[in-house]
Structure 1
């Protein structure tokens, strides 16, 4: 039995991790710390809110004293750190929040963990600080370059990725300097339920249902490796249970797609959904192009964003060989589950905008 503190647990990936963990380990206690900024939503946790082993605390990870209190009062032995500002566009227009949350916030958590677990000796020999990072810290790849491995040098190209790279280094330093028991995972692009509508896949789905343009940056040829969010949760579980202290593990979907091809796939899939289920036209009267099987007509190429990385790709060989990690969802099965979730949960995404 474990006692977990999950930061950012009301966000997209954090909430999916909560659902996975509480279903897989119902005996464990899970405490969520979330500031409930624009992307945090308590509705993401409604299905577990009444569970006696679940506790929600609204607060900021930069509040070191609050973190210390939560660690002590709940005898936390495992801290899983998702809380982050994560939208690249927002980091370009307003980088300060990314520095505050991703760097200073991570350092606040590390200070609290060191004080409680090491200095005060609470769970000194039985603790884990798991830091969730991103493939964007590695920079960008050319079309023929090998995928990012754990030994790829860091070369972040946006304020967001630079702030995450800094937080990765802080976590590593607290292990090597103080002996804090840490692990880090760097994941590729996630998708799935509860995905905030500003990101590519949920934006395309929800814009189609409202007959809005589908913005595609530049020529749409940017390539990303996509990971269904439940596969990410399974990967983190494996890193926590089997990962070596102080090491990093790449978690990827082995699934590279061009942005424009993803948009076209979603368009075709929603066209098919509207053909199969005639009631969708009544539920989504605004979705005129979907009703006509012409979602692709909504695609609109827009000016590329500054510093847009051309390609990301994760090599998860280390996780596969050392942890037994392997994604169980194909992109086709994952995207179908995601589309059906957004079709079924209209109130959620309308209230999240």
Structure 2
């Protein structure tokens, strides 16, 4: 079996569901269930004997040690992280505790477990750390995309905390020999994403006839990766990646944020015309509202995913056009999930983050 951390969050939950849909191998999910860790994401697995959920913190060394001793997983995949830049600006301490201290304690428990193994079990064990392209900083429009040799230049408390965790993972390989793998992905989107991130925020707000906030001029460029493609890439890295190596995972889909917003509005205009609900304007795009930019907002991220394609044979299967259509349809088809999320911490967060931002 394998152990995943943070498996009730957006990417983790998609990975767990994808894994059990493809393999018979059991999976243990360790998640402390913060605001973005939603058990409802995995509710259909409640009766699946291959799925074991443990509520707990990666920073709890004793708990992780006991789990590793009891279940003896062949791999640990670390999804657990505080992951929203805006939240890190308002409250950086949680990011330091989870992303740096938590990763350190997890590594210590895994190192101890790995040292207790023998023979093939020890040789085959892997620790896969899931990270982000934001550790590389910001690119100018004409600069080449981030590759694995690009220097780290984090510009937010979030990206700095993830960069620190990446360095710890690397150090545990070079110092202790722990067989680690690191992946740095571009912006994910797809089902079950908590609506603090751009794409679900725009979908959810549009359906509720609420303003669609766009930071600054909306020309911040991101590379967009459909979450199921990301899950497939992680499986491939776990299967064939070389210990100590980093693999960048991207969608080859660079787009400005404002283009993303207009694309979603056009899809909603076609799939759920605004006049069908309480909102009577001609298009959801009428709800777009430009607001003051966030501090230190990186202008462009772009991932060069050539290495993982060249060495492991992976490349994304979804274009942005196919992936965003699937995503919008999922949110339209799952109103109960959206309603439950909106009734909780999300509402408080949106009010806090956007109430003080002046319109441009």
Query: What's the TM-score, normalizing by structure 1?
Result: 0.94
Match 1:167 to one of 165, 168, 179: 165
Pair 1:93 & 2:82 matched? no
Pair 1:70 & 2:67 matched? yes
Q: Distance in 2 between matches of 1:246 and 1:50?
A: 37
Q: Distance in 1 between matches of 2:320 and 2:46?
A: 30
Match 1:47 to one of 28, 44, 47: 44
The residue number in structure 2 matching 1:312 is 301
The residue number in structure 2 matching 1:220 is 218
Q: Secondary structure at the match of 1:125?
A: helix
Residues 175 and 182 in structure 1, CA contact (< 8 A), matched pair in contact too: yes
Residues 188 and 226 in structure 1, CA contact (< 8 A), matched pair in contact too: yes
The residue number in structure 1 matching 2:181 is 183
Q: Secondary structure at the match of 1:124?
A: helix
The residue number in structure 2 matching 1:265 is 263
The residue number in structure 1 matching 2:134 is 136
The residue number in structure 2 matching 1:337 is 326
Q: Distance in 2 between matches of 1:152 and 1:73?
A: 39
The residue number in structure 1 matching 2:156 is 158
Gaps of 5+ in 2: 343-360
Paired residues for 1:9-20 under 5 Å: 9-20=7-18
Residues 272 and 293 in structure 1, CA contact (< 8 A), matched pair in contact too: no
The residue number in structure 2 matching 1:38 is 35
Q: Secondary structure at the match of 1:61?
A: coil
Q: Distance in 2 between matches of 1:47 and 1:330?
A: 28
| Runs of 4+ displaced beyond 3 Å | 119-123
Q: Distance in 1 between matches of 2:104 and 2:73?
A: 18
Q: Secondary structure at the match of 1:130?
A: strand
Residues 6 and 80 in structure 1, CA contact (< 8 A), matched pair in contact too: yes
The residue number in structure 2 matching 1:60 is 57
Displacement of 1:121 in angstroms is 4.8
Q: Secondary structure at the match of 2:297?
A: coil
Paired residues for 1:277-296 under 5 Å: 281=276, 285-286=277-278, 288-289=279-280, 292-296=281-285
CA-to-aligned-CA distance 1:185-205 (integer Å, 9 cap, x gap): 000000000000111000000
Counting matched residue pairs gives 341
Q: Distance in 2 between matches of 1:172 and 1:66?
A: 24
Tell me which moved more, 113-122 or 103-112: 113-122
Pair 1:112 & 2:109 matched? yes
Q: Distance in 2 between matches of 1:227 and 1:217?
A: 21
The residue number in structure 2 matching 1:209 is 207
Q: Distance in 2 between matches of 1:134 and 1:321?
A: 20
Displacement of 1:29 in angstroms is 1.0
The residue number in structure 1 matching 2:316 is 327
Q: Distance in 1 between matches of 2:114 and 2:320?
A: 40
CA-to-aligned-CA distance 1:12-31 (integer Å, 9 cap, x gap): 00000001111111x20100
Match 1:238 to one of 231, 236, 240: 236
Q: Distance in 1 between matches of 2:99 and 2:140?
A: 27
The residue number in structure 1 matching 2:124 is 126
Displacement of 1:118 in angstroms is 1.0
Residues 138 and 155 in structure 1, CA contact (< 8 A), matched pair in contact too: yes
Q: Distance in 1 between matches of 2:134 and 2:8?
A: 22
Match 2:288 to one of 281, 299, 302: 299
